[in-house]
Amino acid sequence: MGRFDGKVAIVTGAGSGIGRATAIRLAREGARVAMVDTSESGLVESENLMPEGAEYARYLVNVADEAQVKELVSGTIRAFGKIDVLCNIAGISSTGKGHPRVTDNEREEWEKVLAVNLIGTMLLIKHVAPHMQARKLGSIVNTASVAGIRSGAGGNAYSASKAGVINLTMTAACDLGDHNIRVNAVCPGLVETGMTKAVFDYARANEKAHKLGNRCELRRYGDPEEIAAAILFFASDDASYVTGQALPVDGGNTASLNLPGMKV
Ligand SMILES: NC(=O)c1ccc[n+]([C@@H]2O[C@H](COP(=O)([O-])OP(=O)(O)OC[C@H]3O[C@@H](n4cnc5c(N)ncnc54)[C@H](O)[C@@H]3O)[C@@H](O)[C@H]2O)c1
């Protein structure tokens, strides 16, 4: 018996990193999975890693595009008949311009980052929740970040988008609670994925790999599977009395005033 036997889950960002780990683990635990991404090659790679016998479908969808999101939701209902779980994991960091100071912000950059990370999350909730409301059942898990709790991880557009995701998690939980729909968020710390590849590549090429994750109390960075484990907890009935919460899954990073120079 798997925790998700008979359940249907939509997972955005399923073509890489944390989304891929989540889709695979959901399938392993019995769910039928709608895997969503803008990267076809990423989705195909994820598909190749799905457990034998898993039931899934691939959807090439930009979460920031409302028409595509609507079509995804009706396509999932057509394919699987219902939606029990929504995992909003798709996200982008800044677009390669480093981390500008607040006075150097460009509106275009903010619009791009907020469109995917915050508005994309909102659009999925907007179009999936009515199907859950009709059945008075559902669990939604959003992906924020430690960057949404503190500054200094990612650019300020990214941080603001993730702070927005934390607040959207609370407001959606309040709006949907009386329909027995739970809404929670995970706030990952540093995890090796496509998004952080440049950071890891740079550190390894410059003999700084030992520094990766050393500001965390556990003194290491995380694996995508460790974030997926927390996402599955929220998504499952194990969290049946938990809603509106944002859980750091960060090796203790946000638990301390671990400032540069304070730890050796
Ligand atoms: N890796 C980390 O250290 C870290 C830390 C905190 C939070 N996060 C968050 O975790 C989530 C997953 O990121 P990851 O680290 O696995 O990165 P990743 O780049 O490996 O995966 C993100 C996936 O989202 C997809 N995507 C991007 N824009 C999309 C869009 N508009 N529509 C649909 N799909 C889109 C990408 O193609 C990619 O496959 C993100 O929300 C990210 O902000 C990551």
Structural domains of the chain, ranges and CATH numbers in brackets: 8-252 (3.40.50.720)
Q: What b/e readout covers 100-126, taking b as 16+ CB neighbours within 10 angstroms?
A: eeeeeeeeebbebbbbbbbbbbbbbbe
43 within 8 A of 119, measured Cβ to Cβ: no
Spatial CB neighbours of 144, under 8 Å, sequence gap ≥ 6: 162, 163, 165, 166, 169, 185, 186, 187, 246
Active site residue 241: no
Spatial CB neighbours of 201, under 8 Å, sequence gap ≥ 6: none
| The one catalytic residue among 59, 158, 221, 241 | 158
For a ligand 1 pocket test, name from 40, 60, 127, 195 the mutation site with the most ligand atoms within 8 angstroms of its C-beta: 195
Summary mean pLDDT of the chain = 95
> How far is the C-alpha of 177 from the C-alpha of 175, rounded, in Å?
6
> How far is the C-alpha of 34 from the C-alpha of 48, rounded, in Å?
15
CA-nearest of 38, 107, 28 to 15 is 38
- Render pLDDT for 35-77 as a digit per residue (tens, 0 to 9): 999 999 999 999 999 999 999 999 999 999 999 999 999 999 9
pLDDT at 159 over 60: yes
> What is the mean pLDDT of the segment spanning 210-219?
91
Helices then strands (H, E): number in the chain? 8, 7
Position 264 scores a pLDDT of 46
pLDDT at 161 over 50: yes
Q: Which of the four pLDDT bands, split at 50, 70 and 90, describes residue 260?
A: low
> In terms of pTM, does the model score above 0.95?
yes
Q: Structure tokens of 244?
A: 């509106």
For a ligand 1 pocket test, name from 22, 43, 69, 92 the mutation site with the most ligand atoms within 8 angstroms of its C-beta: 92
Atom of ligand 1 nearest to the CA of 190: 3
Residue nearest to atom 30 of ligand 1 (CA): 62
pLDDT at 259 over 70: no
pLDDT at 1 over 90: no
246 within 8 A of 20, measured Cβ to Cβ: no
